[in-house]
């Protein structure tokens, strides 16, 4: 059991909700996520939750929640005008629950495209996936009102959703004058899979497998955040050895992502040799993943209440591999940074200001490269992070170069952390699973009921899960997944302003956002 | 010898091999195994056997362009001496005529890029036009350096003038020509032939709407142009070996092609692509080299 309450739920009247949220946000409390839950079957209401990092009590969360009444349609006063970071969350709720945020500046449908039936809100409890599926009309015209710039010499460049390479679908509508980008309106959510609905149907245990498959390169962070949420909800404290294993694999995932991303930036500038160097090293790490866990994407390790295998047993061979990786990483970075033609391309484009990063709720690399010191590993330490000493790196330039260099800093930091975990994880403590993993250790009335958050700082940024159990306690009433990409996609249009069209792929790679991973 | 009249077939038939070798070298430079050096031939066969998808908005220009591009490149190939400077029937031609025959093909390719009505074709075309404007004066000046020194604009005459390549002006002119060669063949740092990033494409952007047989013709023409420019570089700047007996001349020619191809592969592997608005600095710099070379040639002659 945690000694103090990390999650503080505050129920407010609908009229006070916006003011309360704005108060916390303007005092510097970061909006971590915002979501709705259809709780009409338990307490007769639709509830909205806004999760903020607490300002007064470092390390804990303030969760502001309010009920939305059905007055011929669910409506409430939008908080976006005062809390810009909430803009996508509110649009998402409008799509998925039919809760209309009044006064929101942009009420175009975010998630559901034209083919979905109108007036059917998939995440309401009385709608089943089959209902939605039977009403989808693929032939229906998808007239989405893109925002564009008009005037002499302005061209609209539609890009995607099908791209020339093997990448995920996303549409980008550029308004450009010559090669300069005046405005970009991206449209995503082509891969809606109904994941959150699926969570409600499969029960807690199988939820891990879903979480692992939300975003391939963040498999382990997603499943860890999900497990932590369920464990927090049940009041289960996992054994120290399991914490070490999870932390080790979270850092390993960060490491292979960052190294792969640094290599991919070389593909963005056409620097073939640099790309090859990054790809080779990433492959070495993927092979290590496979050797340790049997899965290149670190799947199948997490269990509710612990982990399924002790990947840290063979300390010597892991250490040996890590020192090879450390040396090779240094060599690759030296090689990449010695290429003037490559480094020159990275300097300048994709500038994201600190102000925009804070206002729009940027997370992960995108935030820290613009000078925002925000890392869940220190802001809300869980797992093993309160036992190891490390530094949160930031960069201030906010451009592509800053994001690359920050990845390099963090990769080096992760390597050090991996070694430190190997040293500190005591081999004599062998338990991998909590004894009471399958039971609820926590009475229902503690900490606001059977609901909890789980969070992990992944390679792309913070990942949050919210889990609330249904009345019977056997299955979830609501699982909300908030991936890092969901926070960072809205930043891209700002980052590309005044850059040139051919630099867009490079800028996009520097954020390396997941399309499918933000589209539940 | 009747064979000399058909020496351009060497370029036509071996240009996919040169492309294959360059790709192989690039793969090796990146630590990959890469496809076999005969892969471009297989690609051509595959493309010729495939059907075509053609945009509804495409006009006749779109259908004509692959043939104009292929035939104009073919005609240009017939103007250069490959292994012999004597060709009785067709006669070898003038280097100025050669570059403007190639320009005809480029003109049609730019039109075709615009014709299909997609954003990427238009982008590719506008960028290609920009690069062409920058490259043309430079490549002509580099060629004039050789022409002034050799007192002729005939490729055959220049190629059989073995004494002229010792002048330092030639080094400058060759450097300019090499940059032009990179730009004309759409290689890094000017363009990236292997990219999947449609927003950065130049040559690939223009041909993005082509498929099947038309694409095969355009690709083949592009490889022929590449080998043609290699050949011209060999003729103008390393004109030894032309006029030897065919076998020795061919061996020497192959060595020159391999060296140029390797140089191109090395440049492409070790450098990143330039930002598009920095191209004028690269190409402008090369233009200055070309200008210096021709000034020094004229000054030395007086």
Contact list in A for residue B277 (CB cut-off 8 A) is 179, 500
Same domain, yes or no, for A116 and A166? no
Is A347 within 8 Å of chain B by CB? no
**Yes or no, beta carbons of B197 and A268 under 8 Å apart:** yes
pLDDT given at position B61: 94
- pLDDT value at residue A142: 77
Reported confidence tier of residue A27, pLDDT bands at 50, 70, 90: very high
CA–CA dist B64, B69 (Å, integer):
9
Closest Cα partner for A389 from A421, A411, A364? A421
pLDDT band at residue B163 using 50, 70 and 90 as cut-offs: low
> How close B70 gets to chain A, by Cα (Å)?
25
Residue of A158, A164, A166 lying closest to B119 (CB–CB): A158
Give the distance from residue A280's alpha carbon to the nearest chain B alpha carbon, in angstroms.
9
What's the pLDDT at B298? Answer: 86
pLDDT at A482: 94
Q: Count CB atoms within 10 A of the CB of residue A67.
A: 18
CATH number at residue A387: 1.10.645.10
Please report which confidence band the pLDDT of residue B238 belongs to, taking 50, 70 and 90 as the band edges: confident
| CA pair distance B22, B226, nearest whole angstrom | 11
Q: Which residues of A touch B274 (CB under 8 A)?
A: 341, 345
Element of type H or E holding A9: strand A7-11
Identify the pLDDT of residue A413.
94
Examine residue A1 and state whether it is found in any structural domain, yes or no. no
CA distance A297 to A314: 20
Q: Are residues A321 and A387 in the same domain?
A: yes
Confidence at residue A414, expressed as pLDDT on a 0 to 100 scale: 94
Put simply, the answer to whether B273 touches A270 (Cβ < 8 Å) is yes
CA–CA separation, B70 and B214 (whole Å): 10
Residues in CB range of A515: below 8 A, 6 or more apart: A167, A168, A169, A170, A188, A190, A191, A485
Q: Are B194 and A268 an interchain contact pair (Cβ–Cβ within 8 Å)? A: no
Flag whether A299 is in a domain: yes
Torsion of CA B230, B233, B236, B240, to 10 degrees: -70
Q: Would you say residue A184 has pLDDT above 70?
A: yes
Q: What is the pLDDT of residue B236?
A: 86
Least CA distance to B194: which residue of chain A?
Answer: A270
CATH of the domain at A53: 3.30.460.80
Say whether pLDDT at A253 is over 60: yes
| Angstroms from A500 CA to nearest CA on chain B | 9
Residue A2 lies in a domain: no
User: Nearest CA of chain A to the CA of B298: how many Å?
Assistant: 35
pLDDT band at A387 (very low <50, low <70, confident <90, very high): confident
With H, G, I as helix, E, B as strand and everything else as coil, classify residue A27: coil
Q: What is the mean pLDDT of residues A34-57?
A: 89
pLDDT digits (tens, 9 = 90+) for B45-75: 999 999 999 988 889 999 999 999 999 999 9
Q: Which candidate from B29, B31, B192 shows the least CB-CB separation from A280? A: B31
Closest C-alpha among A272, A376, A336 to residue A32 = A376
**What is this structure's pTM?**
0.89
In the predicted structure, residue B90 carries a pLDDT above the cut 60 = no
Would you list the domain boundaries of chain B? 2-301
**Mutate which: B30, B211, B275, vs A, most A CBs within 10 A:** B275
Contact A345 B197 (CB under 8 A): no
- Output the pLDDT for position A312: 87
Q: Within a domain: residue A145?
A: no
Which residue of B29, B192, B199 is in closest CB contact with A270?
A: B192
Does any CB of chain B come closer than 8 Å to the CB of residue A38? no
Which residues, numbered 49 to 78 in chain B, qualify as contacts with chain A under a Cβ-Cβ cut-off of 8 Å?
A: none
When CB atoms are compared, the residue of B26, B119, B273 closest to A157 is: B119
Higher pLDDT, B215 or B168: B215
Q: How far is A212 from chain B (nearest CA, A)?
A: 29
Say whether both A105 and A216 belong to one domain.
Answer: no
What pLDDT is recorded for position B165? 57
Whether A95 and A161 share a structural domain? no
Burial A43-61 (b: 16+ CB within 10 A, else e): eebbbbbbbbbbeeeeeeb
What pLDDT is stored for residue B158 in this prediction?
A: 80
List helix spans (H) across A153-269: 195-202, 204-212, 219-234, 240-269
> d(Cα A299, Cα A289) in Å, to the nearest integer?
9
- What distance in Å separates the CA atoms of residue A326 and residue A332, rounded to the nearest whole number? 10
Least confident of A77-86, A326-335, A466-475: A466-475
pLDDT given at position B117: 83
- A/B interface, count of CB pairs below 8 Å: 83
Q: Are residues A299 and A215 in the same domain?
A: yes
Question: A20 and A127: one domain?
Answer: yes
Distance, in Å, from the CA atom of B247 to the CA atom of A130, rounded to the nearest integer, reads 74
Chain B nearest C-alpha distance from A217 (Å)? 21
Is the pLDDT at A444 greater than 60? The verdict is no
- pLDDT of A448 reads 43
Region B64-91 average pLDDT: 84
Mean local confidence (pLDDT), A487-508: 92
Q: Does B248 touch chain A (CB under 8 A)?
A: no
Tell whether A123 and A223 lie within a shared domain. no
Q: Mean pLDDT across chain B, nearest whole number?
A: 89
The reply to whether B197 touches chain A by the CB within 8 Å rule is yes
Region A189-199: what's the mean pLDDT?
90
- CB contacts under 8 A, A 268-287 vs B, are 268-276, 280
A242 and A179 within one domain: no
In this predicted structure, the answer to whether residue A7 has a pLDDT above a threshold of 50 is: yes
pLDDT band at A447 (very low <50, low <70, confident <90, very high): very low
Task: Please determine, for residue A290, whether its predicted confidence score (pLDDT) is greater than 70.
Answer: yes
Peptide bond before residue A161 is cis, with ω within 30 degrees of 0: yes
B196–A502 C-beta distance less than 8 A: no
Number of domains in chain A: 3
Say if residue A2's pLDDT is above 70.
no
| Residue A155 sits at the chain B interface (C-beta within 8 Å) | yes
CB–CB contact B272 A270 (8 Å): yes
Under the banding of pLDDT at 50, 70 and 90, the label for residue A4 is low
Clarify whether residues A307 and A217 are in a common domain. yes
Do A214 and A177 lie in one domain? The reply is no
Six token digits for residue A94: 């409008």
Q: Look at residue A445 and tell me whether its pLDDT is greater than 50.
A: no
Q: Quick check: A263 pLDDT over 90?
A: yes
Q: Which residues contact B79 (CB under 8 A, 6 or more apart)?
A: B92, B93, B94, B95, B97, B98, B101, B155
Q: Are residues A180 and A216 in the same domain?
A: no
Does A500 contact B268 at a Cβ distance shorter than 8 Å? no
B4 pLDDT above the threshold of 90:
no
Residue of B nearest to A341 (CA): B272
Task: Tell me, yes or no, whether A149 lies in a domain.
Answer: no
B189/A165 touch (CB, cutoff 8 Å), yes or no? no
Instruction: For residue A141, tell me if it sits in a domain.
Output: no
The residues near A20 (Cβ < 8 Å, ≥ 6 apart) are A10, A12, A64
**Chain B residues within an 8 Å CB radius of A500:** 275-277
A342 neighbourhood in chain B, CB within 8 Å: 272
- State the pLDDT at residue A49: 94
| Distance from the A512 Cα atom to the nearest Cα atom in chain B, whole angstroms | 14
Contact A339 B271 (CB under 8 A): yes
Shared domain check, A105 and A159: no
Determine the structural domain holding residue A50 and report its residue range. 7-135
**pLDDT-based confidence at residue A248 (cuts at 50, 70, 90):** very high
pLDDT at A279: 94
Q: Tell me the average pLDDT of chain A.
A: 89
CA–CA gap between residue A386 and residue B229 (Å, rounded):
64
What's the token pair of residue B216?
């095969």
| Inter-chain touch B272–A276, beta carbons under 8 Å | no
């Amino acid at each position: 059991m945690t000694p103090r309450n990390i999650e503080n739920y505050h129920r407010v009247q609908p009229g006070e909700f916006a003011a309360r949220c704005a108060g916390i946000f303007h005092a510097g409390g970061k909006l971590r996520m915002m979501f709705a839950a259809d709780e009409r079957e338990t307490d007769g209401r639709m509830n909205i939750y806004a999760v903020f990092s607490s300002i007064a009590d470092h390390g804990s969360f303030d969760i502001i929640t309010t009920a939305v009444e059905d007055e011929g349609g669910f409506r409430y006063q939008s908080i976006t005008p005062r809390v810009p970071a909430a803009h996508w969350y509110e649009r998402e709720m409008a799509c998925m629950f039919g809760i209309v945020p009044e006064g929101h500046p942009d009420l175009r449908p975010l998630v559901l495209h034209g083919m979905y039936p109108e007036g059917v809100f998939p995440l309401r409890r009385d709608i089943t996936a089959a209902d939605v599926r039977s009403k989808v009309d693929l032939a229906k015209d998808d007239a989405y009102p893109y925002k564009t710039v008009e005037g002499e010499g302005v061209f609209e460049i539609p890009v995607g959703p099908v791209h020339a390479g093997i990448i995920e679908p996303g549409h980008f509508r550029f308004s450009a004058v010559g090669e300069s980008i005046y405005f970009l309106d991206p449209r995503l959510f082509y891969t809606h899979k109904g994941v959150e609905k699926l969570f409600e149907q499969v029960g807690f245990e199988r939820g891990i497998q879903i979480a692992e498959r939300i975003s391939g390169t963040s498999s382990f962070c997603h499943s860890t955040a999900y497990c932590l949420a369920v464990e927090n909800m049940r009041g289960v404290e996992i054994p120290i050895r399991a914490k070490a294993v999870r932390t080790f694999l979270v850092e390993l995932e960060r490491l292979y992502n960052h190294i792969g991303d640094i290599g991919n930036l070389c593909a963005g500038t056409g620097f073939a040799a640099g790309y090859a160097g990054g790809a080779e090293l990433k492959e070495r790490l993927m092979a290590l993943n496979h050797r340790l866990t049997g899965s290149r994407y670190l799947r199948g390790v997490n269990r509710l209440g612990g982990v399924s295998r002790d990947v840290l047993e063979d300390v010597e061979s892991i250490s040996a591999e890590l020192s090879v990786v450390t040396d090779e990483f240094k060599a690759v970075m030296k090689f990449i940074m010695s290429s003037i033609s490559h480094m020159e391309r990275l300097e300048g484009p994709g500038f994201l200001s600190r102000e925009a990063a804070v206002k729009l709720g940027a997370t992960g690399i995108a935030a820290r490269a613009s000078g925002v010191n925000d890392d869940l590993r220190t802001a809300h330490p869980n797992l093993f992070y309160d036992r190891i000493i490390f530094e949160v790196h930031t960069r201030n330039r906010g451009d592509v170069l800053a994001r690359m260099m920050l990845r390099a800093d963090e990769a080096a930091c992760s390597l050090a952390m991996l070694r430190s975990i190997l040293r500190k994880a005591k081999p004599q403590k062998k338990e991998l699973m909590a004894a009471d993993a399958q039971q609820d250790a926590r009475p229902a009335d503690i900490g606001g009921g059977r609901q909890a958050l789980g969070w992990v700082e992944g390679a792309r940024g913070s990942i949050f899960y919210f889990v609330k159990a249904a009345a019977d306690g056997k299955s979830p009433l609501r699982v909300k997944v908030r991936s890092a990409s969901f926070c960072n996609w809205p930043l891209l249009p700002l980052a590309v302003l005044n850059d040139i069209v051919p630099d867009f792929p490079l800028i996009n790679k520097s954020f390396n956002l997941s399309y499918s991973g933000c589209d539940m | 010898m009747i064979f000399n009249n058909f020496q351009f077939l060497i370029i036509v038939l071996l240009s996919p091999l040169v492309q294959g070798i360059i790709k192989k070298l690039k793969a090796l430079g990146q630590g990959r195994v890469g496809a076999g050096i005969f892969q471009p031939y297989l690609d051509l066969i595959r493309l010729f056997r495939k059907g075509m998808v053609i945009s509804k908005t495409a006009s006749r220009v779109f259908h004509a362009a692959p043939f104009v591009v292929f035939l104009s490149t073919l005609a240009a190939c017939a103007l250069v001496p490959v292994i012999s400077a004597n060709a009785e029937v067709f006669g070898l031609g003038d280097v100025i005529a050669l570059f403007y025959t190639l320009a005809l093909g480029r003109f049609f390719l730019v039109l075709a890029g615009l014709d299909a009505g997609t954003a990427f074709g238009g982008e590719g075309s506008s960028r290609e036009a920009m690069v062409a404007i920058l490259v043309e004066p430079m490549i002509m000046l580099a060629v004039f350096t050789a022409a002034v020194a050799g007192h002729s604009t005939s490729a055959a005459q220049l190629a059989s003038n073995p004494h002229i390549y010792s002048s330092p002006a030639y080094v400058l002119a060759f450097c300019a020509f090499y940059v032009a060669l990179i730009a004309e063949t759409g290689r890094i740092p000017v363009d990236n032939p292997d990219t999947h990033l449609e927003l950065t494409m130049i040559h690939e952007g223009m041909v993005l709407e082509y498929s099947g047989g038309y694409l095969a013709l355009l690709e083949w023409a592009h490889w022929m142009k590449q080998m043609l420019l290699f050949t011209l570089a060999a003729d103008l700047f390393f004109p030894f070996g032309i006029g030897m007996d065919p076998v020795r001349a061919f061996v020497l020619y192959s060595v020159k092609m391999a060296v140029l191809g390797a140089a191109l592969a090395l440049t492409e592997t070790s450098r990143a692509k330039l930002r598009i608005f920095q191209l004028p600095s690269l190409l402008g710099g090369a233009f200055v080299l070309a200008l210096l070379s021709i000034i020094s040639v004229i000054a030395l002659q007086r």
